[in-house]
């Protein structure tokens, strides 16, 4: 029996994407727009429901995970806070971050409100931020903000599965700053190693999460499959295409298995996270699309799979 619906709520509105800045190596500020445009012309379009019914975050929301000096300094465009993320600052870029973080918050809440429907925030730029500053193309720790907000409102705890090509330090670096973060995010999975070792570490981590889900210590899953863990990425490279797609299957199969045991859908929210291919930026989008297709097939039985290598 399938417990998830063949529909994906995508939390996107135009304000989520920032204008491109020539000085930025990372194209993550424009990826939400590019991915949604790609998604709507792909075979996945029939399963997508765009959701614009979410609000930008305000100062109080950012203070859930960050020091006031950093939040105020960043939005005022003051150094060093405004450039600690390694990206060009502008008022438009700063404003877009209210919406990228708002999209992530909305996706987590929607997944828990309607567990049978996958919720996707087409965003990145979170998992290297610290309470006092940004780093490595990340400005605010959206994972911390979204999960802490949900925990304080509803006492729901989440597990993050971060398959970006780089260790996501944001959650762990915030545990001493946010007093109830251990309760809000009891499990944060970042596999180590490469190729077979990476896959084996992922399997070990999924077993730990499964124990917590079945014991109802974890109430929802957030899965962020960064494309920079693909071996052709300029800044990553842990997995071949086969291994990268296999990692998606491992995650979604585990979620389906837990749902079958519980007799109810485990809430699932998705985010994009990293991916850097200046030679083929659309390959990054196709990888994200392939991950979503695997999720739909595994959780709902809807087969929309395609080969991300096609069209290169």
45 versus 137: the higher-pLDDT residue is: 45
Could you give phi then psi for residue 122, rounded to 5 degrees? -80, 55
- Looking at residue 25, its pLDDT comes to 42
Other CB atoms within a 10 A radius of the CB of residue 254 amount to 22
On whether residue 99 sits in a domain, the answer given is yes
Where residue 261 falls among pLDDT bands split at 50, 70, 90?
very high
pLDDT band for position 233 (50/70/90)? confident
The predicted pLDDT at position 20 comes to 62
Average pLDDT, the chain: 92
pLDDT tens per residue, range 123-179 = 998 989 999 999 888 999 999 999 999 999 999 999 999 997 777 799 999 999 999
**In a domain? residue 305:** no
Domain carrying residue 250: 8-300
Asked whether residue 308 is assigned to any structural domain, the reply reads no
In the chain, what percentage of residues exceed pLDDT 90?
A: 78
CATH number for 20: 3.40.800.20
Domains held by the chain: number: 1
Residue 293 domain-assigned (yes or no): yes
Which residues have CB under 8 Å from 158's CB, separation 6+?
Answer: 108, 147, 150, 151, 184, 185, 218, 219, 220, 221, 222
Checking if the pLDDT of 2 tops 70, the result is: yes
Beta strands (DSSP E) in the chain are: 8-11, 48-51, 118-121, 158-162, 187-189, 220-224, 268-271
Examine the pLDDT at 238 and tell me if it is beyond 70.
yes
Residue 286 lies in a domain: yes
In a domain, 306, yes or no: no
Q: What is the pLDDT of residue 6?
A: 97
Summarised one tens digit per residue, pLDDT across range 82-105 is 999 888 899 999 999 999 999 999
Give this prediction's pTM. Answer: 0.94
Within a domain: residue 70?
A: yes
Q: What is the per-residue burial (b if ≥16 Cβ within 10 Å, else e) of 68-80?
A: eebbebbbeeeee
Residue range 199-205: average pLDDT?
Answer: 97
What per-residue confidence (pLDDT) applies to 230? Answer: 80
Considering only residues 203 and 226, tell me which one the structure prediction assigns the higher pLDDT.
Answer: 203
Predicted confidence (pLDDT) at residue 237 exceeds the cutoff of 50 = yes
Q: Is residue 53 part of a domain?
A: yes
**pLDDT value of position 26:** 47
């Amino acid at each position: 029996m399938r417990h998830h619906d063949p529909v994906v709520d995508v939390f996107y509105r135009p304000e989520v994407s920032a204008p491109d800045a020539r000085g930025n190596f990372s194209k993550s500020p424009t990826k939400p727009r590019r991915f949604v445009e790609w998604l709507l012309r792909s075979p996945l379009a029939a399963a997508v429901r765009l959701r614009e019914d979410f609000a930008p975050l305000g100062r109080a929301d950012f203070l859930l995970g960050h020091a006031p000096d950093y939040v105020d300094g960043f939005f005022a465009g003051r150094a060093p806070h405004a450039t600690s993320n390694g990206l060009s600052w502008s008022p438009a870029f700063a404003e877009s971050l209210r919406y990228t973080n708002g999209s992530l918050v909305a996706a987590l809440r929607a997944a828990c409100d309607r567990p049978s429907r996958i919720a996707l925030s087409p965003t990145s730029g979170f998992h290297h931020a610290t309470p006092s500053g940004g780093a490595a193309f990340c400005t605010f720790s959206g994972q911390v903000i979204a999960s802490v907000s949900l925990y304080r409102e509803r006492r729901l705890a989440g597990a993050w599965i971060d398959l970006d090509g780089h260790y996501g330090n944001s959650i762990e670096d915030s545990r001493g700053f946010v007093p109830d973060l251990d309760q809000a995010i009891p499990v944060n999975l970042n596999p180590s190693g490469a190729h077979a070792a990476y896959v084996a570490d992922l399997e070990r981590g999924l077993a730990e999460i499964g124990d917590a889900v079945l014991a109802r210590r974890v109430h929802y899953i957030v899965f962020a499959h960064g494309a920079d863990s693909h071996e052709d990425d300029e800044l990553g490279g842990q997995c071949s295409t086969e291994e990268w797609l296999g990692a998606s299957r491992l995650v979604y199969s585990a979620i389906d298995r837990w749902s079958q045991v519980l007799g109810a859908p485990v809430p699932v929210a998705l985010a994009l996270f990293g991916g850097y291919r200046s030679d083929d930026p659309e390959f990054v989008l196709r990888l994200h699309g392939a991950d979503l297709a695997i999720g739909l097939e595994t959780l709902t039985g809807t087969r929309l799979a395609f080969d991300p290598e096609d069209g290169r």
